[in-house]
């Protein structure tokens, strides 16, 4: 595919738009390669609060070098990432500490820098502290839009008592695994446990674990299967009977297992539960990836288009989740992961059915996050414009807008969604619960 | 100002974008004129739940004609608005009722139609019902983007017990007062009381009430003062000493009162509280409208730019609110109203300071919504691109993008913000608490 956006940005109108909107040119995004260090450089640490003192030690656990900085960096000092502990900010007047830390450092960043601001969930504090903590969201989302050069900026709200449960999240957000995740707000320990599960092997955190992935034969599902396999999991792929061949081929390659069925079938939840219980003694990771679109404006929406989209994208995940939980098939410490969508957050023309189904997936996360027991978590990803075979068929202008109207001026890759799911699935992410994280390059589209 | 967007949409790229994104051409938006009926036409009613039976009576209270509809409309029947009670939907399979109601009716809508879907706050129910109620958000946001012809679509979550408190909200959302409000989610009765205050005169609901408006001398503040005066309030305008002349002229015209001071002054909260108490015996409506921008990328942000923006936009409203509450100057049933911004939700290049301040305003709403007593409420508006003297100075391309990247393809007017504030200030809106409603024509920009 030729990059027609670049051609456009050389035109008079394009130049004007780029200049006035401050749109960055698409930067090359570094992505994680198995076996590589998580961060190829130093992470600068600053701020004061509940986390500052332990950050260097936490990062060392996962092999990330860090250095405390205050004020201007030393001559020649460069940073691949920054972490600022803002949990100590208790009033709006305190917020200037953000400027004081970041302003002198922003010119010392390497390409593809990863920035994390740590705060306290606003709903867990009150008065002036709550205001200051909530203000962090406007700050980080703005910095995400102006950092440029393929950089990412996130806000991580860490609940009181969850300070030691941040390791897997920092490892994800400071590394190229989160290349296409930016402008996001993550909560740790805000629902369920505040304690991180134990990890025997940080290189293969899912060793000995079983992961169910629906819609696993191709596209994003295939990438999810590959990344979970890389992390040590035994993957059980599910897809429709028509996709049996590619599904089997992939699962054989990954030393996994497979099951062909229509997830909307009446007995599908029971069949899946039975298979996982009989063959694998349960399941640790459940990824509800299978999804369809049947776009039509509502004025022309036939009932079958409505029903099939709601059925596959929402009712099936609901029923399968319920059956797996009711039958006790999900192992303690397991994770359930939904796939929502930007459309489910912002709405989209021609997608009343699809957006309702994806907003419903967010509802499923909300409804279960405080109910699940035995350290089981539920979270969702909300992909933006991800480049797949399906999107290659999208008309030029829609594709270009989808790809460019984000802070990174480019579409994401299936692996970006898969890495986010692997972070949720990580045993050390047991305090990461009830989150919906967009994988969208901080797309402009939103609610 | 010539409409260069129209010129662009006639160009080859423009046509392609319009066609493929389904962007509507800018429709003329009807706006409310004092004394006119709220709705010039019939509102179609449908759905089943806690509200359906009382809707016709509620709308009659404010002079709105309605008719129940199920299935295709009668020959020649036209609707100016639609209200669907979705509180009875308890599972994802039930959602098809949305399609069954809306699809046959969408071609029977007049121009500038106003659509409202009523649901139950998801956080107040559980399991499959929570999922279904949460799904409504994706549905309404999609319909808002495709309804076209200057139409609006909102989702109103009505808490159990708050069924009789929806009148002022339906009057606002079904009338041209909400011309530029679309794709929004409103909660009634979810924080504080579920009971509506009494209204002696629906034409002048604020008769006998006192309204403080900061930054009142021009622009959006002037419009707020005019609309609150229209609704019967005695307006006390506040602005900086440099704006004393236009402030006095306006307040004399509106038979109001004024106070010139810098709201960031050390004793400003005390002076305002004292003035309101001595001269007016208290205040019923507090509108924190004053705000400034001092844009600069964070890498180049001087400390005074940070401090002045945080000081005016966030710390001053916090201090004034606290003083008025602590001194008991806010009367029972009063309303406190903040002015946030799209930038506070989505972030913006060059606005880390401004976006932090505006996100903090949302934090102020969150922090007080459950704490306020005596039926006092707090809510905020979040304007998108509103056409003012200030925006006339914005560079062409930025202005065009700001104006067009919304479902209505146009900028809003100051009166659109003012009408939204008047809805919050309405005595019958006492169960409308803790909301942040965007006045943005359903702008694409979001978080």
A255 and A143 within one domain = no
Catalytic: which of B5, B157, B180, B354?
Answer: B354
Domain assignment present for A8: no
Q: Quick one: pLDDT at residue B233?
A: 98
Question: Any idea what the CATH number is for the domain that residue B122 is in?
Answer: 3.40.50.720
On the question of pLDDT at A337 being above 90, the answer is yes
Q: Per the CB < 8 Å rule, is B398 touching A145?
A: no
A297 and A155 within one domain = no
A169 and A242 within one domain = no
| Residues of chain A contacting residue B102, judged by C-beta atoms under 8 Å apart | 298
Q: Given pLDDT bands bounded at 50, 70 and 90, which one contains residue B406?
A: confident
Q: Is the dihedral of CA B52, B50, B60, B423 positive or negative?
A: negative
B254 and B387 within one domain = yes
Q: Quick one: pLDDT at residue A118?
A: 98
Smallest Cβ distance to B360: which of A135, A314, A364? A135
User: Rounded to a whole number, what is the distance in Å from the CA of A384 to chain B's nearest CA?
Assistant: 12
Domain assignment present for A20: no
Q: Quick one: pLDDT at residue B5?
A: 63
CB A376 within 8 A of CB A324: no
| Phi, psi of B314, rounded to the nearest 5 degrees | -125, -55
Q: Per the CB < 8 Å rule, is B98 touching A21?
A: no
CB A48 within 8 A of CB A68: no
Among A81-85, A246-250, A404-408, B285-289, name the one with the lowest average pLDDT: A404-408
A339 and A239 within one domain = yes
CB B303 within 8 A of CB A99: yes
Which residues touch B281 (CB under 8 Å, ≥6 apart)? B210
State the residue range of the domain holding A120. 31-188
Q: Residue B441 and residue B342: Cα distance in Å, rounded? A: 11
Q: Is B294 on the interface with A (CB under 8 A)?
A: no
Which residues touch A170 (CB under 8 Å, ≥6 apart)? A55, A58, A59, A62, A64, A83, A116, A156
Q: Quick one: pLDDT at residue A392?
A: 76
Domain assignment present for A11: no
**Inter-axis angle of helices B352-369 and A127-146, to 10 degrees?**
150
Q: Given pLDDT bands bounded at 50, 70 and 90, which one contains residue A9?
A: low
A215 and A184 within one domain = no
Smallest Cβ distance to B357: which of A100, A135, A364? A135
The neighbour count for residue A395, using CB atoms within 10 Å, is 11
On the question of pLDDT at A395 being above 80, the answer is no
Q: Quick one: pLDDT at residue A42?
A: 98
CB A258 within 8 A of CB A236: yes
Q: Residue B271 and residue B338: Cα distance in Å, rounded? A: 20
Give the neighbor-by-neighbor strand order of the sheet with A210-214. Answer: A257-260, A234-239, A210-214, A283-288, A330-339, A377-383, A436-439
Which residues touch A152 (CB under 8 Å, ≥6 apart)? A113, A114, A115, A144, A173, A178, A179, A181, A182
On the question of pLDDT at B127 being above 80, the answer is yes
Q: Percent of chain A at pLDDT above 70?
A: 95
Domain assignment present for A19: no
Structure tokens given for B292: 């400034």
Cα dihedral B40/B433/B358/B326 (nearest 10) = 130
Q: Is B277 on the interface with A (CB under 8 A)?
A: no
Q: Quick one: pLDDT at residue B163?
A: 97
On the question of pLDDT at A1 being above 60, the answer is no
Q: Residue A431 and residue A187: Cα distance in Å, rounded? A: 9
A419 and A302 within one domain = yes
Which residues touch B229 (CB under 8 Å, ≥6 apart)? B235, B254, B255, B256
Q: Per the CB < 8 Å rule, is B100 touching A303?
A: yes
Domain count across chain A: 2
Domain assignment present for B253: yes
Residue B354: active-site member = yes
Determine the average pLDDT of the residues in B431-445: 92
Q: What is the mean pLDDT of chain A?
A: 94
Q: What is the ipTM of this complex?
A: 0.94
Helix (H, G, I), strand (E, B) or coil at A436: strand
Q: Residue A429 and residue A422: Cα distance in Å, rounded? A: 10
Q: What is the mean pLDDT of chain B?
A: 94
pLDDT digits (tens, 9 = 90+) for A194-245: 999 999 899 999 999 999 999 999 999 999 999 999 999 999 999 999 999 9
A160 and A279 within one domain = no
Q: Which of B436, B414, B427 is nearest to B165 (CA)?
A: B427
On the question of pLDDT at A2 being above 90, the answer is no
- What is the SS3 string spanning B64-84? CEEEECCCCCCCCCCEEEEEE
Among B56-65, B369-378, B405-414, name the one with the lowest average pLDDT: B405-414
Q: Per the CB < 8 Å rule, is B444 touching A446?
A: yes
B236 and B133 within one domain = no
Q: Which of B376, B369, B371, B370 is nearest to B334 (CA)?
A: B376
Task: Label residue B232 left, alpha or beta by phi (over 0 means left) and psi (-120 to 50 means alpha).
Answer: left
B389 and B324 within one domain = yes
Interface A:B, Cβ pairs < 8 A: 296
Residue A63, judged by CB atoms within 10 A of its CB (0-12, 13-18, 19+), counts as exposed
CA B4 to chain centre: 28
| Residues of chain B contacting residue A359, judged by C-beta atoms under 8 Å apart | 134-139, 141
Determine the average pLDDT of the residues in B383-405: 78
Determine the average pLDDT of the residues in A376-399: 85
B270 and B177 within one domain = no
Q: First and final CA of chain B: distance in angstroms?
A: 31
pLDDT digits (tens, 9 = 90+) for B293-349: 999 999 999 999 999 999 999 999 999 999 999 999 999 999 999 999 999 999 999
Q: Is A183 on the interface with B (CB under 8 A)?
A: yes
Q: Quick one: pLDDT at residue A393?
A: 73
Q: Is A92 on the interface with B (CB under 8 A)?
A: yes
Domain assignment present for A60: yes
Structure tokens given for B14: 């423009």
Q: Per the CB < 8 Å rule, is B146 touching A350?
A: yes
**Inter-axis angle of helices B219-230 and B244-253, to 10 degrees?**
20
Q: Residue A23 and residue B117: Cα distance in Å, rounded? A: 36
Among A65-74, B165-174, B312-321, name the one with the lowest average pLDDT: A65-74
| Residues of chain A contacting residue B360, judged by C-beta atoms under 8 Å apart | 92, 95, 131-132, 134-135, 138
Q: Residue B151 and residue B182: Cα distance in Å, rounded? A: 8
Domain assignment present for A311: yes
On the question of pLDDT at B2 being above 50, the answer is no
A426 and A303 within one domain = yes
Domain assignment present for B202: no
Q: Is B72 on the interface with A (CB under 8 A)?
A: no
Determine the average pLDDT of the residues in A329-337: 98
Q: First and final CA of chain A: distance in angstroms?
A: 31
User: Rounded to a whole number, what is the distance in Å from the CA of B273 to chain A's nearest CA?
Assistant: 20
**Inter-axis angle of helices A352-369 and A303-310, to 10 degrees?**
30
Q: Percent of chain B at pLDDT above 70?
A: 95
């Amino acid at each position: 595919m030729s990059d027609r956006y670049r051609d456009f940005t050389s035109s008079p109108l394009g130049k004007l738009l780029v200049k006035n909107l401050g749109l960055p040119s698409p930067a090359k995004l570094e992505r994680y390669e198995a076996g590589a260090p998580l961060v190829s450089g130093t992470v600068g640490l600053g701020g004061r609060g509940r986390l500052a003192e332990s950050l260097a030690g936490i990062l060392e656990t996962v092999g990330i070098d860090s250095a405390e900085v205050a004020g201007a960096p030393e001559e020649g000092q460069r940073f691949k990432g920054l972490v600022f502990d803002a949990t100590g900010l208790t009033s709006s007047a305190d917020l200037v500490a953000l400027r004081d830390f970041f302003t002198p450092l922003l010119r010392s960043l390497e390409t593809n820098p990863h920035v994390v601001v740590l705060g306290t969930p606003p709903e867990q504090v009150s008065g002036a502290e709550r205001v200051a903590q909530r203000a962090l969201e406007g700050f980080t989302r703005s910095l995400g839009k102006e950092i440029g050069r393929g950089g990412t900026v996130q806000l991580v709200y860490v609940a009181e008592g969850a300070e030691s449960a941040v390791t897997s999240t920092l490892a994800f957000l400071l590394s190229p695994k989160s290349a296409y995740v930016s402008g996001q707000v993550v909560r740790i320990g805000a629902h369920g446990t505040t304690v991180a599960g134990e990890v025997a092997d940080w290189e293969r955190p899912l060793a000995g674990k079983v992961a169910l992935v629906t819609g696993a034969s191709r596209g994003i599902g295939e990438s999810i299967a590959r990344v979970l396999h890389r992390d040590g999991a035994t993957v059980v792929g599910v897809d429709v009977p028509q996709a049996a061949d590619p599904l089997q081929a992939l699962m054989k390659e990954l030393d996994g297992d497979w099951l062909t069925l229509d997830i909307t079938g009446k007995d599908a939840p029971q069949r899946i539960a039975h298979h996982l219980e009989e063959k694998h003694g349960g399941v640790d990771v459940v990824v509800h990836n299978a999804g369809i679109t049947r776009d039509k404006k509502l004025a022309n929406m036939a009932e079958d288009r409505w029903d099939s989209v709601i059925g596959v994208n929402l009712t099936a995940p609901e029923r399968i989740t319920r059956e797996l939980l009711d039958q006790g098939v999900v192992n303690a410490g397991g994770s359930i992961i939904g796939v929502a969508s930007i459309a489910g957050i912002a709405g989209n023309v021609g997608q009343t059915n699809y957006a309702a189904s994806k907003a419903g997936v967010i509802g499923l996360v909300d409804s279960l996050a405080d109910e699940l027991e035995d350290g089981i978590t539920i979270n969702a990803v909300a992909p933006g414009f991800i480049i797949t075979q399906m999107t290659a068929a999208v008309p030029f202008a829609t594709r270009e807008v989808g790809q460019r109207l984000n802070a990174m001026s480019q579409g994401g890759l299936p692996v970006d969604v898969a890495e986010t799911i692997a972070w949720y699935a990580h045993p050390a992410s047991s305090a990461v619960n009830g989150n919906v994280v967009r994988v969208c390059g901080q797309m402009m589209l939103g609610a």
